[in-house]
């Protein structure tokens, strides 16, 4: 059975779970305790030699990098979420990369400089990086809104792996006070997908899961 090395608070790992759940691919989850440094231990480095999650072991085939895993799994288990037609696939690839390079990178900057730095010894808040993340969202969320005025999903009129990637990138919205009210089509798209079983079977709410997992630690650090 496929093994997913993951952490419930990792958005890149969660987008893999969205796909696995959607395609009903049997899998097990191996939780990697990042705070305890398990990603640097020898057993995990045999799975991913540079010590990051997510990673998979698919009956002996090991692979890291979330978008590479999405492509691999969607190709191995063919469905409309990763079309075979060259032009249709290229559009999916475009928006998959857009989600990673413009949205996920922005939210990760905000997330790190709002919460994560407080959990890491020696880390400090970078106000410039925090503001860059906010600026990027102000720049690129309107692009998504415009796209979704024309079609039901980000890469066309049916769900694709680009939607899973974008959905995971925006999972931190409430936690980071990212107000999507100015983007009604994007907000409706997100709410629709969050109600689907592939999402609900991962978690009901990322923000609630995060606060449950690290809230007491953050309170202790703050005090």
User: Does the pLDDT of residue 27 top 90, yes or no?
Assistant: yes
The CATH superfamily holding the domain 2-76 is Glutaredoxin (3.40.30.10)
pLDDT value of residue 154 = 98
Per-residue HEC secondary structure of 82-122 comes to: CCCCHHHHHHHHHHHHHHHHHHHHHHHHHHHHHCHHHHCCC
Instruction: Tell me the per-residue pLDDT of 143-194, one tens digit each, with 9 for 90 and over.
Output: 999 999 999 999 999 999 999 999 999 999 999 999 999 999 999 999 999 9
Cis preceding-peptide flag for 185 (omega within 30 of 0):
no
Backbone angles phi, psi at 160, to 5 degrees: -140, 175
pLDDT, residue 120, reads 79
Order of strands, sheet of 61-64, starting from the edge strand that comes earlier in the sequence: 27-31, 2-6, 55-58, 61-64
The domain ranges of the chain are 2-76, 86-218
Question: Residue 215: what pLDDT?
Answer: 64
Class in CATH terms, 86-218: mainly alpha
pLDDT at position 133 over 50: yes
Phi, psi of 180 (to 5 degrees): -95, 10
């Amino acid at each position: 059975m496929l093994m997913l090395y993951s952490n419930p608070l990792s958005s890149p790992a969660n987008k893999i779970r969205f796909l696995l759940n959607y395609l009903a691919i049997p899998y097990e989850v191996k939780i990697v305790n990042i705070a305890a440094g398990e990603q640097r231990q020898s057993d995990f480095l045999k799975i991913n030699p540079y010590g990051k999650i997510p990673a998979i072991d698919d009956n002996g085939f090991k692979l890291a990098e979330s978008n590479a895993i999405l492509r691999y799994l969607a190709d191995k288990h063919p469905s409309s979420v990763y079309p075979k037609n060259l032009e249709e696939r290229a559009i999916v690839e475009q928006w998959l990369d857009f989600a990673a390079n413009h949205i996920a990178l922005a939210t990760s900057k905000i997330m790190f400089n709002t919460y994560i730095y407080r959990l890491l010894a020696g880390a400090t808040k970078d106000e410039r990086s925090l503001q860059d993340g906010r600026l990027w969202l102000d720049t690129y969320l309107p692009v998504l809104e415009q796209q979704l005025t024309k079609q039901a999903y980000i890469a066309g009129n049916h769900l694709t792996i680009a939607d899973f990637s974008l959905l995971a990138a925006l999972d931190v919205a409430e936690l980071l006070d990212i107000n999507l009210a100015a983007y009604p089509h994007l907000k409706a798209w997100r709410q629709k997908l969050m109600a689907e079983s592939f999402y609900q079977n991962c978690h009901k709410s990322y923000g609630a899961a995060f606060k449950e997992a690290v809230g007491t630690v953050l309170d202790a650090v703050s005090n």
